[in-house]
Amino acid sequence: MPLQSPEVYIKKNIAAVQEYSILAGTAIADIFTPPHYWADVFTQMDSIGVGSMPIIVLTGFFTGCVLALQSATALTEFGAISMTGSLVSLSMVKELGPVLTGLMVSGRNAAGMASEIGSMKVTEQLDAMRALGTDPVRKLVTPRIMATIFMLFFLTIIADALGIAGGALMSVSLLGLNANTYLHDSYRGLVHGDIVQGLTKPLFSGFIISTVGCYFGMKTTGGTQGVGRATTQAVVVSSVAIIIVDLLVTRAMIGIFGS
């Protein structure tokens, strides 16, 4: 790989941020003006939402299971094993549910968007679309943003619920806790601010996944190798961005709700 001067490297990255911002801004503005491609929105909802269900169900459930087992070890030392339900539900709803769902959907769908749009770019299908009078941002990017934000919200709820259920299974079957106690403790441990915090994060993650995936797809160059590179970059950048934005949202929510 050839070395670049710092000046070229910085300019290139600033230009990339600018291009990304313009793409994201244009795509969001297109939500509020016709024409709308509702059929594409529903197709993407099916692909992103329903298609991601199996990985979200498995990830959420087993994360809850592991969380219960790991936390029980530490809580036993303090004689607080009955708090397992509260710890699992808080961890799942506030942090693990939104972040793991975001990362799993990022791995599946940011990659899918980058490769699909990237393939269209290198085979001139995006140019053909423009030549046929269709705005590719409006047709391809806006529906993906709408579908990802909407579906990630519900996928996160499913992951949270299954994580708590997984924790319940482990607590009852292996730790000998009472199911009613576990569920009551889980419910009692959550307050309004926790739910708001947990359900705000997927809105940001959904935006990041869709815009980053589409951005790398639309700037793909260099044939099939370029498509592979765009796919990898989309997953890496969106995953890192989800974790960074998670920190910022958490801090903001602590500032608003105080916990």
For other proteins, the binding residues (CB under 8 A) are: 119-120, 123-125, 127-135
Nearest distance from residue 195's CB to other proteins, in Å?
A: 39
Q: Are 100 and 203 in contact (CB under 8 A)?
A: no
Chain mean position to CA 63: 16
Nearest distance from residue 119's CB to other proteins, in Å?
A: 8
Q: Which helix (H) or strand (E) holds 183?
A: helix 179-189
Nearest distance from residue 115's CB to other proteins, in Å?
A: 13
When the beta carbons of 26 and 250 are compared against other proteins, the nearer one is 26
Nearest distance from residue 242's CB to other proteins, in Å?
A: 28
Nearest distance from residue 146's CB to other proteins, in Å?
A: 19
Nearest distance from residue 232's CB to other proteins, in Å?
A: 22
CA distances 26 to 16, 109, 253, Å, are: 15, 21, 28
Between CA 45 and CA 184 the distance in angstroms is 34
Residue 195 CB neighbours (<10 A): 14
Nearest distance from residue 105's CB to other proteins, in Å?
A: 22
When the beta carbons of 18 and 76 are compared against other proteins, the nearer one is 18
When the beta carbons of 116 and 160 are compared against other proteins, the nearer one is 116
When the beta carbons of 95 and 135 are compared against other proteins, the nearer one is 135
Amino acid at 185: D
When the beta carbons of 73 and 125 are compared against other proteins, the nearer one is 125
When the beta carbons of 136 and 206 are compared against other proteins, the nearer one is 136
| Nearest CA-CA partner of 153 in 198, 119, 109 | 198
Q: Are 88 and 164 in contact (CB under 8 A)?
A: yes
Radius of gyration of the chain (CA): 21
When the beta carbons of 136 and 202 are compared against other proteins, the nearer one is 136
| Nearest CA-CA partner of 202 in 167, 232, 160, 142 | 160
Q: 3-state secondary structure string, 124-171? A: CHHHHHHHCCCCHHHHHHHHHHHHHHHHHHHHHHHHHHHHHHHHHHHH
